[in-house]
Every structure is written in C-alpha cells, then in structure tokens.
Structure 1
Amino acid sequence: MKGIKVFAITLALILLLAACGTSEETSSTETEQETEEATSGSEETSTDSEEGSTEEEEATEDEGTEEVTIGERVSSDNQPFSIEVMEGYTLTAEEPNRDVLFFDENDSVFMRIETFAKEEADRTALVDTLKQTVQASDSTATLMEISTPAKLPNVDMPIGYEIAVENGKVTGYVFETEAHMVRVIIYDVSDVMKTGDYLEMLSTLQSN
C-alpha cells in the first residue's frame, strides 16, 4: 500500500513538471513570436519612412531644377535668335536683319533687335553706332552710360546708354551671345514705362 502511494505521488510530480515545462515552452514561443512581429513591424515602418523620405527628396530636387520662364519662347523668322515673349507683347520683323518687339497696348513702346555674326562684326563700331542712334532721339539731351547692373540685361558683356526724351526714355545696349553680337534699342513712354519688362525678355535671348 505504501508503495502505491509513493508511485502515485511520483507520477503526480512527473505530470506537474511536464505541465510546467510545456507552459514555459509555450510562453517562450509566444514571447519569441511577439518579438519577431514587433521587429518586423519596426523594419516595415523604417522602410516606409525611408521610401517616403527618398520620394520627398526627389520631389524637392525636381522642383529645384525646374526651369523658370517669363513667357512663351518665340523664334524670329527674320534673324537667328529666339526670345521669351511676355503676354501682351508681339515679336515681328521690321526689315531684313531687324526685328521689333511691340507692347500691344501702345505701339509707341517697342524694342528693336539686330544681330550680327561675330566674325563679321566690330564691337567698337557697334557701340559707336548705338550711341549715335540713341543720341539722335534728342540731340539736346545728355547721353548717359548705364553703370547700374540692375539696369542692364543679364547677358554677356553688356554695355548700355540712355537719354531722357520728351514724354519718355530711349535706352540702347550692345552685348554678346555665343555666336552673335546683338544691338538693341528700347523706346519707352513715361505713362507706360516697360523698360523693365524688356530687360527681362532680353535676358532670355538665345542665338539659334
């Protein structure tokens, strides 16, 4: 009888230890699964964050390199150049090798553009002719050389002259492109004053 009791107690202890071991293994397995799921979720979140950051950086770079325009680029059918023309202005041929960019609301306001092949042009002669033409608008007015960068087009080697005339201003420039010398004269009217617009457009001129 005593042997049976000992056997029963031993069997109960074995079953109890087995149950505890199973519980610990189950708990350990669940803990490992939870840890793996948490790690996987963290990795996915990190990956999503990195992808989102990359997309934002690419979008920012694209925005930074986006070309800014001030108007429609128009090619002259009379001379080898193109220029961005703002709304409200029209580019037209005046005569061979001479174009005019008119302000649509007042054709007394315009910019005359002439181009010359570099190998055939003399810069000094072009500047002298420019000064004479600007001065001819009013022989009694004082011709002033332009020294303020903001009053010059953003182009290569610009030089400019201006005079105040009755009811307006006349401004002239000589500058260079890769293949041409360019001579420009702007005729502006006091109650309109579009010289600033013309300078912006002139800064976009490109030789063809």
Structure 2
Amino acid sequence: MNKKLFLAASVLAVSGLMAACGTDESSEGTTEETSTETVEEQNDPATSDESTEEESTEEESTEEESTEEEQDADSTESAEESEESAKEPSEENPALNDGTLTVSDSNSYEVYLLPSFELTAEEPNKDVVYSTENDALFMRIETFTSEETDFDFAQESIKQTVQASNDSAQLTELPAFEGNEFINSSLYEIPTDNGKVTGVAYEKEGLIVKLTIFDLTEAGITEDFLNMGKTITAN
C-alpha cells in the first residue's frame, strides 16, 4: 500500500516539474520574439528612410512657406513705395496743391498758376506767366512736340539764351528736376545787374518745354516760377 502511494506522489511531482519547464520555455520564446521584432524595426532601412523623408518634406514645406511670405511682404513694400513715390511730386509742389489749372489760348498745353500770376500770349509759340504785382517778374514758356524738336536742341538753345542775358557773367548749371515724369531736364542760371535769369529745358510725356525766368533780387520768386513750370502738360 505504501509503495502505491509513493509511486503516485512521484508521478505528480514529475508532471508539475514538466509543466513548469514548459511555461518557462514558452515565456522565453515570446520574449525573444518580441525583442527580435523591435530590433528589426529599429534597424529596418525602409522605416528609417521614411521618417527622414517625412522630416525633410516638412522642413522644405516650412522653408517654402517662409520664402513665399517674405516675397509677398517685399512685393507689398515695393508697391507701397511706388505709390508713395508717385504721390511725392503732387505733395511737394505748391503749384499743384494751391494753383489753378489754366489752359493756354494759343498753344496746346495747360499749367497750374499760383495766386497773383496770370498767363498771356506773347507771340506765336510763346506765352508768358507774369506776376500781377510786378510785371517785370515773368517766365516765358515755349512748348514743342517731340516731332518738332528734340531735347538736345532745346537744351543748347536755352543755354545760349541765358548766356546772352549777360555775356560778361559766368553761367551756372543747376541740378536737374527730380521726378520720374521728367525724361530729361537741364537748368542754367546767370546773374544780372538787378537780379538773375534762369533757363530750363525739359522733356516729359512727349512734350519738350523751354522756360526763361526773369527775377529781381528784391523779389526772389524764381522757385514759384519753377514750380508752375513743372506742371505744364500737353492737352
């Protein structure tokens, strides 16, 4: 009887030991498989390349967006600067702001006249803007189309006219007109016994203009004449 009990106990012990060994081997196999899969994923070139490509694409997209934003900003600034530049002549020239638009009766142009100045015909192809307070202060206006003359001829002509006002004096060349509307411009000045004579030749919008300004020392209104002269346009 005792032998049978001992044999049964031995069988149970061996079965338990085998079950335990099977469980350990199964766990170890599962752990090894999981570790192997993780390592393979980390070392997989395809997975690594995909991640790198995604990061590169995101960086390039961000850079392109930044570049486009900068270009849009530059374009906006350039447009604003151009608009401001186009407004400057009007804002800086008192004749355009305070003058009266006047059409020549004998020639094909119009001009803005400041208060206390009038326009009258002098002779064919020549008008005069004069001060109503002192008619010794005046500006002769001559206008031509680009078919009638060219700027070089007008420039040389006005230079000779100014020099002829005082042959013994030194002719001075002044800075050219500023502004995109003036294709070409030349200014000359010479002193006289009681003042000065200023000559201008300029070209804009297919019109070539010659101005001869006679000013007196005590008056000093050459700048007013120049401002009015700049506003001449064909009509």
Q: Verify same fold: TM over 0.5.
A: yes
The residue aligned with 2:223 is 196
How far off is 1:120 after superposition? Answer: 2.0
Match of 1:89 in 2: 117
Correspondent of 2:186 among 159, 169, 173:
159
User: How do 1:34-113 residues align onto structure 2 when only pairs under 5 Å count?
Assistant: 69-113=97-141
Match in the other structure for 1:3? none
Amino acid at match of 1:207: A
Q: Radius of gyration: which is bigger?
A: 2
Q: 1:96 to 1:172 in 2, by over 3 A?
A: same
Q: Deviations over 1:145-176 (max 9, x none)?
A: 112x5xx4755121111101111010001111
- Partner of residue 196 from structure 2, selected from 169, 181, 187: 169
Partner of 2:157: 129
Asked if the contact 2:151/2:203 (under 8 Å) is kept, the reply is no
Q: Deviations over 1:94-139 (max 9, x none)?
A: 0111000001111111000001110120222211111111011110
Point out where structure 2 has 5 or more consecutive residues left out of the alignment: 1-86
Equivalent residues of 1:153, 1:202 under 8 A apart: no
Query: Do the aligned residues in 1 keep the contact of 2:207 with 2:233 (CA within 8 Å)?
Result: no
Structure 1 length-normalised TM: 0.63
Structure with greater proportional helix content: 2
Give the aligned residue type for 1:201. M
Instruction: Report how many aligned residue pairs link the two structures.
Output: 141
Q: Which residue identity does 2:185 align to in structure 1?
A: P
Q: What residue is the counterpart of 1:183 in the other structure?
A: 210
Measure how far apart 1:179 and its partner are. Answer: 2.4
Identity rate, percent: 40
Name the TM-score, length of structure 2 as normaliser: 0.56
Equivalents in 2 of 1:166, 1:121: separation in Å? 33
